[in-house]
Structures are given as C-alpha cells and as structure tokens.
Amino acid sequence: MWRIFVGLAAMCLRGLLPAPVHALVLHSRDEALALAFPQNTEIRPLDFYLTPEQRSDIEQRARVKLDSNLITVYAGFKDGKLTGYAILDTHVVRTLPETLLIVLDPEGQVRATHLLAFYEPPEYAPPEHWLKQFTGANPQRRLEPGQTVDAIAGSTLTARAVGNAVARAVAIYSVLLSERK
C-alpha cells in the first residue's frame, strides 16, 4: 500500500501528475507502529501473498475490493505474548490517497484507527474524535458511516473510505489471522 504513495510521488516529481497542494502527513510508518504498540513491544511484520480464494474471501467479507495480493500485517508482542495487530491501509479517497493505521486486538476487534497521511484538501480529513467511533468493530460487528457511525458532513467520500479500510482490516484478520492466536 505504501507503493501507491511512492508511485504517486514519483509521478509528481516527473511532472506526470500535479503535486498535491495540501498534503497532511502526520506520522511515518515507524511512528505509526509506535502508536500501535507502545512500551518496547517487539514488532514482527507478517507478509501474506494472497491466494485467489483468500482474496475473494476478504473482499466478500469487507464488501470492498483489495488493491493488491500482497498484504503486510504487523504483529506486536510483549514478553513473548501477542498484544495485537496493525494494518496500514492506503487507498484513494476521491482522487488522492489517504493512509490509515488500524490497530486490532488479538481477537480481531478494532482498538484504534489513526490517520497517518491525507492528500485531499484538509477540510475533508476525518477528525480524530470521529475515527474513535470505529473502536470495537470486529468480525461480528461491522461499523458503517451514516448507519452505525455518524457521517461526516461534507465528507461522504472520506467517511466511506475510512469505513471500507476498517472493514478490510477486520476481514484480513478473519481470513489470515484468526487461526494464528
């Protein structure tokens, strides 16, 4: 998913795309992982190359398409015990990317959702207090903007993109991680 940012940045540098006027970058990957797993937690990247069946299962559960067959999930461990998972999700909101960090507990319940980068105009960025509404989403409890989560006035596409990212993270847990505990 970081490949989207690298690709867009390279295209901007080559003049193939205009540079975004407003780029809100709040955290690097390392800073994001420190948010997900504080207090000297060991972090292990888990790389998955999806089979067609896994991809289909994730997309059906999330009700949204995946951009890639390659998924990296970060697992946090404290004193050898699994503390949770973190998934970086980069996606296009309207025409430009957004990156979120979705933190899951070992049972697949969303513990936190953090905005890491937002390239659309800043007035469309999801506020931190709004992102907290996704806490508690899990494989049995899907949270959707405008239904089980408040909508963001004037930012329907942002709200939908965040809801889809959280649904993807929970579906990734269900298909790839739920049996690993």
CA–CA distance, 113 with 122 (Å, rounded to integer): 18
- Regarding pTM above 0.95, the answer is no
CA–CA distance, 119 with 96 (Å, rounded to integer): 6
Would residue 11 count as lying in a domain? no
Q: Is the pLDDT of residue 164 over 80?
A: yes
Per-residue pLDDT band at 117 (split at 50, 70, 90)? very high
For 74, list phi and psi in degrees, rounded to 5. Answer: -100, 125
Domain that holds residue 149: 22-177
Average pLDDT, whole number, for the chain? 83
Q: Is the pLDDT of residue 50 over 50?
A: yes
Per-residue pLDDT band at 8 (split at 50, 70, 90)? very low
Would residue 131 count as lying in a domain? yes
Number of structural domains, the chain? 1
Identify the pLDDT of residue 10: 42
Strands (E), 15-61: 24-25, 42-49
Would residue 107 count as lying in a domain? yes
More confident residue, 104 or 129: 104
Would residue 45 count as lying in a domain? yes
Would residue 14 count as lying in a domain? no
Min mean pLDDT across 1-15, 30-44, 58-72, 144-158 is at 1-15
Q: Is the pLDDT of residue 146 over 60?
A: no
Which range, 6-10, 27-31, 56-60, 121-125, is most confident? 56-60
Which amino acid is it at 147? Q
Length of the chain: 181
Min mean pLDDT across 64-68, 71-75, 126-130 is at 126-130
For 138, list phi and psi in degrees, rounded to 5. Answer: -155, 180
Would residue 155 count as lying in a domain? yes
Would residue 146 count as lying in a domain? yes
Would residue 75 count as lying in a domain? yes
More confident residue, 151 or 53: 53
Parallel/antiparallel/unpaired status of strands 110-118 and 70-78: unpaired
